[in-house]
A and B are shown apart, each in its own frame.
Chain A
Amino acid sequence: MTGELRRRVAVALAAAVVLGFLGVFFAWPVAAIIGLGVRGDVGAVLAEPATWRLVGFTLGQAAASTAVALLCGLPLAYVLARLVLPGTGLLRVAVTVPFVLPTIVVGMAFRALFGADGGVLPIVLANAFFNVAVVARTVSGLWGHLDRRMEDAARSLGAGRLRTFTSVTLPALLPALGSAAAVVFLFSATSFGVVLVLGGGRLRTLETEIYLRTVQLLDLPGAAALSLLQLVAVVAALLVATIARRRRETALRLRAPATTARPPQGAEWWIVGLAGAVLCGLLAPIASLLVRSVSTRDGWGLAGYRALLGTGQPGTLEVTGLEAALNSVRTAVDATWMALLLGLLASFVLVAVRRRFVAESLDLALMLPLGVSAVTVGFGYLITLGSLPGELRTSPLLVPFAQALVVTPLVIRTVLPVLRAIDDRLRQAAATLGAGPWRVRREIDFPLAVRSVLAAAGFGFVVALGEFGATSFLARPDAPTLPVAIARLLGRPGELNSQLAYAACALLMVVTVLGVVLIERLRVGTDAVEDF
């Protein structure tokens, strides 16, 4: 009985830490800024047909982007999870690179490709470009653990490849697919820079409109009305995902990944080909910006790279490109460990809470920061954090706090499906053999979850490195991150600034690759984890 009590206290403490952080850095600021707005005439905005067209377009482009990202991400996930091929390690790292690229740079690359008025297609493709990594990483995380013998059994009982995939593999993958789809949908629904650059001011989403009304027009009632709509839309989308996921996160026979991967055979080469095509699609914009970084008016040159040691043309940056890179790494490291701490505590609570309604509501609340505009949160900080001691509004730690808010849901989405998939009978068996509750966690949960935790760390680090919305709002001029510095360089005339901006993009990719490789090395160490 005391064991049960101790467990409850631990769960309550963990929940308090997570909800406290979420409350101070998310719920309170958002409620405060919306609260200021709803004193005005919110109804008028809701009555306008244009508002509903905005909602329709926002959800439509997000759904299309999600579909494209899922279709493109699946072949990559299969190759990463199931095949032993030379270069898969490289592939795993390469797919994450798009995620850190500044939206203004990618937006301009797609704008160059599709013309200034390309319509919706470039927006959908650019959103998918950013988010393929979410699908590839989330899905391959679980796929690698699925026991291949289930599929082999289905095949030997006479099921075709397609039948096997749809009736054995797909149902087992659904939790990860649902997670990935929810995250991609949220990222696409709130995608800001891409819509602004590629929409050319003509195509608007709730996110860009909230930004304009808050930042330019100071139309707080209008912004509040749209923020509420965005919140409702996001919650509705998450509810759909939750219902789709319900009962799917069940116990699976998880295996150590080494036993499930093998060299490609027969038709699997088709999947390898598809994955290769997707990879080329991801690499093309990257290659184009690398070309930009070495092009000058008079041919090829490395002026941009040499300029990384400086601050651009006079009056552009306060720090050098390298200092900005260092600052990016520091901020991302902080955001990553904060998000891991919060995400693991939250996952622990979510697994421990037995009432489904409570668990699902909590899960949903933790996802919300992905679906709310960075501007809403940032302006909320202005009015709430001033009343806390220690003037957090000017603290350099506010940036990693805000980034952790975005990364935490990704940690949860990566770790939770694996934790939920652990067969409870393993835990019961351990308990029967005399292991206490902590011992059970250490011996059963930890080894099985550790790979996904490290995957979450790697991905979280990348997300924090590339985060622009909240960061640009909160970063101090003497400590910009690379994406903030790049945006600033592109906002000033002059050839050197432009070259330096593209060289800084290349540096950002190098930093990303190094960070991910480091974490991948750790992950490889976990292959030694014993199979049960």
Chain B
Amino acid sequence: MNPLLRWAAALAAAALTTGCSLIGSSGEDTAARTVTLVAHDSFVADPALLADFEKRSGIHLEIRNSGDAGELTNKLALSKAAPLGDVAYGVDSTFASRALRADVFAPYRPAAADRGPQRYAQDQQNRLTAVDVADVCLNIDTAWFAAHRLPEPTTLRDLTDPRYRDLTSMPDPTTSSPGLAFLLGTIDAFGEPGWQDYWRALDANGVRLSSGWEEAYNQDFSGSTGQGPRPIVLSYASSPAAEVDENGAPRTKALLDTCYRQVEYAGVLTGAKDPQAAREVVDFLLSSEFQGQVADQMYVYPAVDGVPLPEGWAASAPLPPRPAELPADEVENNRDRWVEQWRTLVRG
């Protein structure tokens, strides 16, 4: 045999037998009860907690991340005939109506729904249960404002003040979900057609738009690692918890009067193979153990009352007391029109 062929054969054999291949590596145990949890990309949980749940319940939990809230909702709607899983988590208040209209969730009201989540209920049939809330807020670099002897902005209106010209960076509402939440927040705050005047003023005052949160926060914002030029950025109420110095003091601050509330829901999918097991998984998402770690793991706030936040969050990332919110139906009915109007207004 050609020495080269022999070489290649040996290499191929080595690759296949030493684990340099995925073939044969998917040996999943097919335990008696398996529940597939389809979640948004931000879903993470403490592995020990998941293992403990699996042991106690006898349910094998298979987790599949499926994009952000919008992408997840659309995937659920498209795969309704052959569902991707049994439970879905991560459809948020901006997309809840779309999911409910597509009829992908089955009614189920967990016992814990009375202790907080009921505030965010979307329909009479209880097809969705709130698991956590994540507020989109403007963040500022406090040191920058101290160094420049400029008072910190506090309201949405402040961003149109000439003193804060060219200081703000945020993701585009048409390409990013926090961007869209901010647009909805301005619509809630200024009404129609007032929000359009607000955006004209914002644009005139030099707001910088990027396509994603990544560029705005990591590259343009002066308070993050990228140490960019702009001290005001659109992010989350919880972001300052990730930007603390060696002494645990926050370097950034969320402006609590500029927030828009995104509620994230879970529900049992129609067509779940084992609906009873699927319900137990929803119960688990609302259990105090799971709720107690959502802040640390996902930078969101628990929906169930009385669950303590991590130490330090009271100082660095308190829950906004009065965030803006629009009814899910109103969002679903108007989203496309608002986005189109925004695009014409700001992008010309």
Contact assessment for B74 and A218 in the assembled complex, using a CB-CB cutoff below 8 Å:
yes
A450 to chain B, nearest CB (A): 7
Contacts A202-B347, A315-B299, A318-B44 given; indicate if A386 touches B79 (C-beta within 8 A): yes
Contact assessment for B26 and A522 in the assembled complex, using a CB-CB cutoff below 8 Å:
no
B contact residues around A337 at 8 Å (CB): 12, 15
Q: Does any Cβ of B come within 8 Å of A160's Cβ?
A: no
Our pick among B64, B84, B239, B296 for the contact of A315 (Cβ within 8 Å) is B296
Contacts A333-B15, A333-B20, A525-B7 given; indicate if A201 touches B209 (C-beta within 8 A): yes
Contact assessment for A116 and B220 in the assembled complex, using a CB-CB cutoff below 8 Å:
yes
Residue in chain B with minimal CB distance to A211? B175
Task: Please encode chain B, from 96 to 127, with 1 for each CB lying within 8 Å of some chain A CB and 0 for all others.
Answer: 00100000000000000000000000000000
> Of residues 47 to 92 in B, which have CB atoms within 8 Å of A's CB atoms?
47, 62-65, 67, 70-71, 73-75, 77-79, 81-82, 84
Contacts A201-B175, A488-B41, A498-B225 given; indicate if A382 touches B209 (C-beta within 8 A): no
Q: Does any Cβ of A come within 8 Å of B196's Cβ?
A: no
Q: Does any Cβ of B come within 8 Å of A246's Cβ?
A: no
> Of residues 382 to 439 in A, which have CB atoms within 8 Å of B's CB atoms?
382-383, 386-387, 393-397, 399-400
Contact assessment for B25 and A393 in the assembled complex, using a CB-CB cutoff below 8 Å:
no
B295 to chain A, nearest CB (A): 9
Q: Does any Cβ of B come within 8 Å of A476's Cβ?
A: yes
A contact residues around B22 at 8 Å (CB): 330-331, 334, 396-397, 399-400
Residue in chain A with minimal CB distance to B84? A393
Contact assessment for B242 and A493 in the assembled complex, using a CB-CB cutoff below 8 Å:
yes
> Of residues 269 to 325 in A, which have CB atoms within 8 Å of B's CB atoms?
297, 313-316, 318
Contact assessment for B172 and A200 in the assembled complex, using a CB-CB cutoff below 8 Å:
yes
Contact assessment for B64 and A379 in the assembled complex, using a CB-CB cutoff below 8 Å:
no
Interface of A is mostly: helix
A and B contact pairs by CB, cutoff 8 A, 9 listed = A108-B215, A201-B211, A202-B347, A218-B74, A382-B79, A450-B4, A477-B41, A493-B242, A498-B224
Contacts A315-B296, A477-B63, A522-B4 given; indicate if A396 touches B74 (C-beta within 8 A): no
B293 to chain A, nearest CB (A): 9
Q: Does any Cβ of A come within 8 Å of B243's Cβ?
A: yes
A43 to chain B, nearest CB (A): 18
Our pick among B71, B98, B215, B235 for the contact of A111 (Cβ within 8 Å) is B215
The size class of the interface chain B forms with chain A is 35 or more
Contact assessment for B174 and A493 in the assembled complex, using a CB-CB cutoff below 8 Å:
no
Q: Does any Cβ of A come within 8 Å of B158's Cβ?
A: no
Contact assessment for B175 and A215 in the assembled complex, using a CB-CB cutoff below 8 Å:
no
Contact assessment for A201 and B11 in the assembled complex, using a CB-CB cutoff below 8 Å:
no
Q: Does any Cβ of B come within 8 Å of A492's Cβ?
A: yes
Contact assessment for A215 and B25 in the assembled complex, using a CB-CB cutoff below 8 Å:
no
Cα–Cα distance between A216 and B219 once the two chains are bound (Å): 24
Our pick among B63, B74, B215, B243 for the contact of A478 (Cβ within 8 Å) is B63
Task: Please encode chain B, from 6 to 41, with 1 for each CB lying within 8 Å of some chain A CB and 0 for all others.
Answer: 011001100100011111011000000000100001
Residue in chain A with minimal CB distance to B296? A314
Interface residue ranges, B against A (CB under 8 Å): 3-4, 7-8, 11-12, 15, 19-23, 25-26, 36, 41, 43-44, 47, 62-65, 67, 70-71, 73-75, 77-79, 81-82, 84, 98, 171-172, 174-175, 208-215, 217-220, 224-227, 235-236, 239, 242-243, 296-299, 336, 339, 347
B contact residues around A334 at 8 Å (CB): 21-23
Our pick among B36, B78, B243 for the contact of A379 (Cβ within 8 Å) is B78
B210 to chain A, nearest CB (A): 5
Interface of B is mostly: mixed
A contact residues around B84 at 8 Å (CB): 382, 393-394
Contact assessment for A490 and B297 in the assembled complex, using a CB-CB cutoff below 8 Å:
no
Interface size on A, residues (CB 8 A): 65
Cα–Cα distance between A114 and B70 once the two chains are bound (Å): 31
A447 to chain B, nearest CB (A): 8
Interface residue ranges, A against B (CB under 8 Å): 36, 104, 107-108, 111-112, 116, 196-197, 199-202, 208, 212, 214-219, 297, 313-316, 318, 329-331, 333-334, 337, 379, 382-383, 386-387, 393-397, 399-400, 450, 473, 476-478, 488, 490-495, 497-499, 518, 522, 525-526, 528
Contact assessment for B219 and A316 in the assembled complex, using a CB-CB cutoff below 8 Å:
no
B contact residues around A528 at 8 Å (CB): 3-4
A contact residues around B227 at 8 Å (CB): 297
- Minimum-distance CB pairs A-B, first 7: A386-B82, A201-B172, A315-B297, A494-B242, A493-B242, A498-B225, A315-B44
B138 to chain A, nearest CB (A): 14
Contacts A111-B215, A333-B21, A493-B217 given; indicate if A212 touches B26 (C-beta within 8 A): no
Contact assessment for A108 and B71 in the assembled complex, using a CB-CB cutoff below 8 Å:
no
A contact residues around B210 at 8 Å (CB): 116, 197, 200-201
Residue in chain B with minimal CB distance to A529? B4
A contact residues around B26 at 8 Å (CB): 395-397
Cα–Cα distance between A199 and B172 once the two chains are bound (Å): 11
Residue in chain B with minimal CB distance to A446? B2
Cα–Cα distance between A208 and B176 once the two chains are bound (Å): 12
A518 to chain B, nearest CB (A): 8
Contacts A394-B62, A395-B26, A490-B214 given; indicate if A215 touches B219 (C-beta within 8 A): no
A contact residues around B70 at 8 Å (CB): 215-216
Cα–Cα distance between A217 and B63 once the two chains are bound (Å): 25
Contact assessment for B98 and A201 in the assembled complex, using a CB-CB cutoff below 8 Å:
no
Contact assessment for A111 and B219 in the assembled complex, using a CB-CB cutoff below 8 Å:
yes
Kindly name the residue among A218, A337, A399, A400 whose own CB sees the greatest number of chain B CB atoms within 10 A. Answer: A218
B285 to chain A, nearest CB (A): 15
Contact assessment for A330 and B20 in the assembled complex, using a CB-CB cutoff below 8 Å:
yes
